[in-house]
């Protein structure tokens, strides 16, 4: 029963990630209608997303430490409540600053309570199928563009942006608060069984972990990976509209990218279990860089779909594997804090894309330089990932815990 409950935690994490991350990323769909109705600049609205990522990263570190100390249930329940609150307040904002605070700060704190804590929690429930389990949780997060964004577009076809955003806030409360009570940490016997072989030094402290070469390379790779895909993810809907595509068709590109990310998470999760997470990450990062750069050349819907499939599979597949690599290097008892710290660094990369992309559009009346820059940063991520230190030796006795 204890072993099988790990899959309940996976399912709960997938649903919570879908709603939380999907609601946050739905701002891409609100971008044009909000700018047209309020007169706020796209750079200003996009800055809310940048604040989201910055706050989410810092919050993830704090939430991760709280997860290690008090368990994940209290953390994700707090995040569920804050997510609905932030969206509701943002829908009532009377100024750009109010919107940036509500959507950026509060929603960012809420999202930080879901992503890193749930990923870290799941790594304690599994050993041999760890890559697949973590990828399934991440797959739920990847379904956000397939669910919340089309819902937002449909709501916007009937209501103004404020009403549409309030509806999403209420939906977040209805779905996430009950689900949070299903989440719990792995029993100590299971966490210790997987942890004994997972870290080079089971007695490692948080300070030692954060100063280690393993963490530094992991965090830098995570940063560059997110800096590569954050701009294309956030601005491709607006880019497609600028290329002459209808709004619903443009949003469908976002959904195709999200669906491809879902498939990528499953495929890369299986590949990580079979070939090793490090090797799989390097290959995925290279594909991601090429996909980001290829967006520069596309113009019609078919071309957008083709690139969205490749790009979505790559970035979606790579993201969950950072937690798997971290679990190989560091003991479970500090996993929430360590992965929260890595997520904090990665959020700085995510923060670059929305605001830089908005600035590029406002300055050059186009997104071309965004995709060129993303390609270059993507190649940098590949180079850093090649410097991952060797994994600690692994004793296989008693590793199958789920």
pLDDT value for 396: 40
In which band, very low, low, confident or very high, does the pLDDT at 192 lie, cut at 50, 70 and 90?
low
Residue 399 lies in a domain: no
In 93-133, beta strands by DSSP E: none
**Among the ranges 58-72, 81-95, 262-276, which has the highest mean pLDDT value?**
81-95
Say whether pLDDT at 105 is over 70. Answer: yes
Residue 227 near residue 350, CB atoms below 8 Å: yes
Bigger pLDDT: 254 vs 265: 265
Which one is predicted more confidently, 109 or 269? Answer: 109
User: Which percentage of the chain shows pLDDT scores above 90?
Assistant: 30
Is residue 138 in a domain?
yes
pLDDT at res. 170: 95
Structural domain total, the chain: 1
Q: Can you read off the two tokens belonging to residue 360? A: 């590029």
In a domain, 402, yes or no: no
pTM of the model: 0.71
Domain around 41: 2-183+190-385
Query: Is 177 in contact with 77 (CB distance < 8 Å)?
Result: yes
Q: Is residue 308 part of a domain?
A: yes
CATH number of the domain to which 345 belongs = 1.20.1250.20
pLDDT band at residue 304 under the 50/70/90 scheme: very high
**pLDDT greater than 90 at residue 326:** no
Has residue 391 been placed in a domain? no
The answer to whether residue 329 sits within a structural domain is: yes
Confidence of residue 193 (pLDDT cuts 50, 70, 90): low
**What residues have CB less than 8 Å from 165, skipping those under 6 apart?**
30, 87, 90, 91, 152
Structure tokens at 292: 């980001």
Q: In this predicted structure, what is the pLDDT of residue 353? A: 80
SS3 content of the chain, % helix, strand, coil (to 5): 85, 0, 15
pLDDT over 70 for what percent of the chain?
A: 92
Residue 59 lies in a domain: yes
Q: What is the pLDDT of residue 62?
A: 87
User: How confident is the model over 198-229, as pLDDT tens digits?
Assistant: 455 667 788 888 888 889 999 999 999 999 99
pLDDT at 400 over 70: no
The pLDDT of 370-392, averaged and rounded, is 88
**Is 87 a domain residue?**
yes
User: What pLDDT score does 1 carry?
Assistant: 45
- Specify the range with the lowest mean pLDDT, choosing from 169-178, 278-287, 334-343: 334-343
User: What token pair was written down for 181?
Assistant: 């009570």
Averaged pLDDT score across all residues of the chain: 84
Res. 388: pLDDT tops 70? yes
Residue 324 CA to residue 326 CA, distance in Å, equals 5
Distance of CA 398 to the CA centre of its chain: 32
Q: What is the pLDDT of residues 2-29, one digit of tens each?
A: 568 888 999 999 999 899 988 888 888 8
Dihedrals φ, ψ of 390, to 5°?
-60, 145
Please, which residues have CB within 8 angstroms of residue 337's CB and are 6 or more apart in sequence? 61, 64, 65, 68, 206
């Amino acid at each position: 029963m204890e072993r099988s409950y790990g899959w309940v935690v996976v399912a709960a994490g997938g649903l919570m990630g879908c709603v939380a991350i999907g609601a946050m990323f739905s701002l891409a769909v609100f971008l044009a209608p909000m700018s047209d109705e309020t007169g706020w600049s796209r750079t200003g609205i996009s800055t809310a997303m940048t604040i989201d990522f910055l706050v989410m990263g810092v919050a993830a570190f704090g939430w991760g430490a709280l997860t290690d100390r008090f368990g994940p249930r209290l953390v994700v329940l707090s995040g569920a409540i804050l997510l609905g609150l932030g969206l509701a307040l943002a829908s009532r904002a009377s100024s750009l600053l109010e919107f940036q605070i509500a959507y950026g700060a509060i929603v960012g704190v809420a999202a930080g309570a879901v992503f890193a804590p749930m990923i870290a929690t799941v790594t304690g429930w599994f050993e041999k199928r760890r890559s697949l389990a973590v990828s399934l949780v991440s797959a739920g997060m990847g379904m956000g563009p397939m669910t919340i964004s089309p819902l937002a577009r449909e709501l916007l076809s009937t209501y103004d942006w404020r009403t549409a955003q309030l509806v999403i806030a209420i939906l977040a409360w209805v779905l996430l608060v009950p689900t949070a009570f299903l989440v719990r940490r792995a029993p100590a016997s299971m966490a210790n069984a997987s942890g004994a072989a997972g870290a080079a030094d089971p007695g490692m402290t948080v300070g030692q972990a954060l100063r280690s070469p393993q963490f530094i390379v992991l965090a830098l790779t995570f940063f560059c990976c997110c800096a590569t895909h954050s701009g294309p993810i956030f601005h491709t809907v607006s880019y497609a509209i600028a290329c002459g595509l209808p709004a619903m068709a443009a949003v469908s590109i976002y959904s195709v990218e999200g669906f491809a990310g879902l498939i990528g998470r499953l495929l890369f999760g299986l590949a990580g279990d079979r070939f090793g997470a490090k090797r799989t990450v390097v290959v995925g990062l290279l594909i991601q860089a090429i996909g980001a750069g290829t967006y520069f050349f596309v113009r019609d819907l078919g071309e957008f779909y083709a690139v969205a499939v490749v790009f979505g599979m790559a970035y979606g597949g790579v993201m969950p594997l950072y937690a798997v690599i971290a679990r190989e290097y560091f003991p479970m008892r500090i996993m929430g804090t360590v992965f929260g710290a890595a997520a904090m660094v990665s959020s700085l990369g995510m923060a670059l894309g929305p605001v830089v992309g908005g600035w590029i559009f406002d300055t050059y009346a186009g997104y071309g330089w965004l995709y060129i820059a993303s390609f270059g940063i993507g190649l940098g991520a590949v180079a850093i990932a090649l410097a991952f230190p060797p994994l600690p030796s692994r004793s296989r006795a008693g590793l199958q815990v789920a």
